[in-house]
Amino acid sequence: MIVMKFGGSSVESGDAIARLATIVNSHLTKFPVVVVSAMGKTTDRLLEFAENARRGDRYLGSKCLDELQEFHFEVADQVANGDALHRIETSLQRSFRDLRVVLFEAADEGREVTPALLDEIASFGERMSSEIVAAALESRGIPSVHLDARQVILTDDRHTAARPLYWESYARLRRVIPYLSEDGRVVVMGGFIGATEDGVTTTLGRGGSDLTASIVGAGISADEIQIWTDVDGMLTCDPRVLRGAYRVRSLSYQEAAALAESGAKVLHPDTVTPAVRQRIPLVIRNSRRPEVEGTRITPAALHCSNIVKAIACKPDLTILEIRSNDQRDPEELAAALGEMIRRYGMQPEFLCQNNGTIFLALKNSMHYRNLPIELDGCVEVRLHPRSAILTLVGAGIDGASEIATRTLAALKQLPVTILPSGHSKLALSVMVPSAEMQKSVELLHREFFRQMDPAVFAGCQEPGFQNPPPTSVSTSDRAVEVRRFRPLTTVSQN
């Protein structure tokens, strides 16, 4: 058996779902289980509806919900027919009725929009898209059955970012999937969503459909887990930042995980973990170009003459460079700071320490000044606003000091800081101003990909978009702000 996960861009329209059906049909001999994301930007819109309801704006919420309902019914009508169309229309009517009740209770009756309610609202996207895909397959003569992911993906109760209960989920998947897939039926389920053991709906965090696919693959001991998206595979750099990237034919689990953790959007950071335990290959492929072999992720990396395999980016960051004046172990300080940040609802984008200096990166949108830290002079913090972190990833980076030398030489005209490697020996990270991110990626790509190992790299077709050219760095972009904080020993206890 194989698992085939299709992202939002692969189910965004009737034409996209038709392509999905063709791809699934070509893999029927491998007994696929299909995992799908919400259609297009549906999850974003559902969360916007929740915010409208929180503000009590019933009119705007109702108008936007009407548009989303019309969109889903239109796509269903394009891809399904006969009894399958009748069933999906009945199910969609029920789903939108339930969704309206939830939203209007929040808008008109003051129901609190809790994280649990946000999960309930967000879950409708995958619940509806998976039913539409199952109906589309059936309408094309492909035997299929819909499975509500909440019946088999069990999680803790950390709403909006729940952690899977892996072994409990594996046990359910091993019981349910073989039964449903009898007689060659294709099981179709939504990604991203799960439920507590008490049956309360949860979500796995943005991008969690990849993780769902990996859990399903591990649960059924799949031969392969395929991640179908809108690019040819894992690329040497983000095509939205720089055109001219190459496709990486093969990566190790560790390299793929390092890229995902460093900002590569093609793969959810936690996706690799379940696959590693059973050594299941992951393959990233393009649903618009299914003839391309994609990127294959396996336990061991192929020998490659290029030390660097890819460059990942995290833009729009505020980076705190923290020097402690007390005698605590820097590792303990970093752990305490990370725990405090998470306790106040902030997810660090980067956290590591070296020689007593801690680097903490937060999204610019996060209000770090609201953290309960007093200014009494015991810890010096240098703020680097409007920054980006670029990370070079490759198995050959471990112990290769010349990579740092070449990086600094390539970026010699720009303000750049080499960051500690953290826990990954496969990565080298640098901090640059956000306004210089695109130029920095271009210079690094030119430096490390002048010559390509054809066994590992190939050309690719990129999406038709590109960010505008960067503007020059202003004095304020390069400015460093110094603040005095009280000891982290106190901070970590608040």
Q: What is the pLDDT of residues 262-275, one digit of tens each?
A: 888 888 778 888 98
Closest CA to 456 of 252, 189, 318, 313: 252
pLDDT at 468: 37
- Residue range of the domain that includes 91: 2-229
Say how many C-beta atoms besides its own lie within 10 A of residue 378's C-beta: 17
Do 220 and 364 belong together in one domain? no
Alpha-carbon distances of 381 from 81, 224, 362, 454, rounded to whole Å: 62, 47, 14, 46
pLDDT for 58 beyond 60: yes
Tell me: do 123 and 10 sit in the same domain: yes
Considering the domain architecture, whether residues 203 and 349 belong to the same structural domain is answered as no
Are 335 and 194 contained in the same domain?
Answer: no
Among candidate residues 302, 297, 284, the one with its CA nearest the CA of residue 228: 284
Q: Considering the domain boundaries, does residue 254 fall inside one?
A: no
Residue 489 confidence (pLDDT) above 90: no
Given 180, 212, 229, which residue is the final one in a domain?
229
**Same domain, residue pair 325 and 444:** yes
- In the numeric block, which tokens belong to residue 491? 């901070």
Asked if residue 299 belongs to a domain, the reply is: no
Whether residues 379 and 473 fall in one domain = yes
pLDDT digits (tens, 9 = 90+) for 40-49: 999 999 999 8
Structure tokens at 493: 């206890």
In the chain, the largest separation of any two C-alpha atoms, in whole Å, equals: 73
Q: Would you list the DSSP string of 390-444?
A: EEEE-GGGTT-HHHHHHHHHHTTTS--EEEP-TT-SSEEEEEEEGGGHHHHHHHH
Closest alpha carbon to 406 in 435, 445, 353, 433: 445
Q: In this structure, is residue 264 part of a structural domain? A: no
Question: Are 378 and 481 members of one domain?
Answer: yes
Question: Does residue 474 lie within any of the structural domains?
Answer: yes
Residue 464 has pLDDT above 70, yes or no: no
Domain count, the chain: 2
Do 213 and 316 reside in the same domain of the chain? no
pLDDT in tens, 178-211: 999 988 999 999 999 999 999 999 999 888 999 9
Domain boundary among 169, 200, 229: 229
Task: Note whether 336 and 214 are same-domain residues.
Answer: no
CATH number for the domain harbouring residue 55: 3.40.1160.10
* 242 assigned to some structural domain: no
pLDDT in the model for residue 228? 96
Average pLDDT of every residue of the chain: 86
Does 165 share its domain with 19? yes
- Residue 444 sits in a domain whose CATH number is 3.30.2130.10
- Of 260-264, 377-381, 394-398, which range is least confident? 377-381
Angle at 42 between CA 218 and CA 247, to 5 degrees: 55
- Does residue 244 belong to any structural domain of this protein? no
Mean pLDDT of 132-153: 97
How many C-alpha atoms does 263 have within 13 Å on its Cβ side?
27
- Parallel, antiparallel or unpaired: strands 32-36 and 186-190: parallel
Q: Is residue 16 part of a domain?
A: yes
Beta carbons of 397 and 308 less than 8 angstroms apart:
yes
Alpha-carbon distances, residue 188 vs 36, 137, 166, 305, 481 (angstroms)? 8, 9, 20, 41, 52
What is the model's pLDDT at position 326? Answer: 60
Q: Is residue 211 classed as helix, strand or coil in its secondary structure?
A: helix
Domain boundary among 211, 229, 247: 229
Any domain includes 126: yes
Same domain? 339 vs 445: yes
Considering the entire predicted model, what is its pTM?
0.86
